[in-house]
Amino acid sequence: MSVLVVGSIALDTVKTPVEEHADLLGGSASYAAVGASFFTPVNLVGVVGDDFPSAHIDYFGSRQIDLTGLQTVPGKTFRWSGEYMWDLNTRETRSVELNVFEHFNPVLPAGYQSAPYVLLANIGPNLQNHVLDQMQRPRFVIADTMDLWINIALDELLRLLARVDMLILNDGEARQLTKETSLIKAAAKIRAMGPAYVVIKKGEHGALLFGPNAQFFSCGAYPLEDIHDPTGAGDTFAGGLAGYLAAQDHGTVTFESLRKGVVFGSILASFNVEKFSLERLRTLTQADIDERYASFRRMSQFEVLA
């Protein structure tokens, strides 16, 4: 089963306390599409300018990523610049140049409209709703969001939540959206807004999955000694989760498949942060993923001592 990924494609400049790199491949759709492609074919919808490097196009094509929905228009590609502080958890946006992304109108090719699995990566909820308006009864829709949309597009976001099966957001955004300090209460409130499932990301502390009938799963983060660039980790997580669900399609989505999807999404994200941009994912193999999954399982098992 293929998964439809819609979001931003960007050229990033990223600075950490020890390194700085410019003109990196970035954007929510880039990370999400590549993450999903480790499990299933991907249909990518996004927009770039005529300055977008052909090497990045070639990289997408080398994965299982169909580019029929990629728009290339005259002008400059969306650019973002950010700087991370010493703990690599705090980030400051230095500049945003929307360029061609400012007028992005996601149009789905006919072959994309019947995609069973949809990942609405982090873009404005008006665009996410516009994508769903073009879909033909997708089986499972995942949406990602951020604090900006909660601040400036809340009504559109609430309309979106009534149409999706899962919402992914971080712990601060969950509290911001619901005005609840307890993440348990926050998840319940979000589920009441529409999505049957909610994933709350907690950065280096993992992620929480909430479902109907008090279903709950806590996934720790894979322990890493060195983190080089956290950019796109959440998008890679979402892509890995969506890709795994599509690959395991049995006609319905179960909580068990969602649990495993969260684990594989976390594993993909753990690889992503080991280098800048998507450089680590370029060299990632299925054997690497399987090995880390086995290691993750060993670390997650424990015995109750009498």
What DSSP assignment string belongs to 145-208?
--HHHHHH-HHHHHHHHTT-SEEEEEHHHHHHHH--SSHHHHHHHHHHTS-SEEEEE-GGG-EE
Looking at domain 3-300, does it have CATH number 3.30.1360.70?
no
For residue 124, which of 8, 240, 10, 237 has the smallest C-alpha distance? 8
For residue 219, which of 258, 191, 185 has the smallest C-alpha distance? 258
| 8 Å CB contact between 190 and 161 | yes
Q: pLDDT tens digits for the chain (306 residues)?
A: 899 999 999 999 999 999 999 999 999 999 999 999 999 999 999 999 999 999 999 999 999 899 999 999 999 999 999 999 998 888 999 999 999 999 999 999 999 999 999 999 999 999 999 999 999 999 999 999 999 999 999 999 999 999 999 999 999 999 999 999 999 999 999 999 999 999 999 988 899 999 999 999 999 888 898 899 999 999 999 999 999 999 998 778 999 999 999 999 999 999 999 999 999 999 999 999 999 999 988 887 655 544
DSSP-derived 3-state class of residue 85: coil
Give how far Cα 83 sits from Cα of 5, 101, 178, 202, 225, Å.
27, 22, 29, 20, 21
| 8 Å CB contact between 119 and 4 | yes
Specify the residue for token string 């007028």.
Answer: 103
Specify the residue for token string 């109907």.
Answer: 212
Domain ranges for the chain, please list them. Answer: 3-300
Amino acid at 292: R
Residues facing 218 on adjacent strands: 208
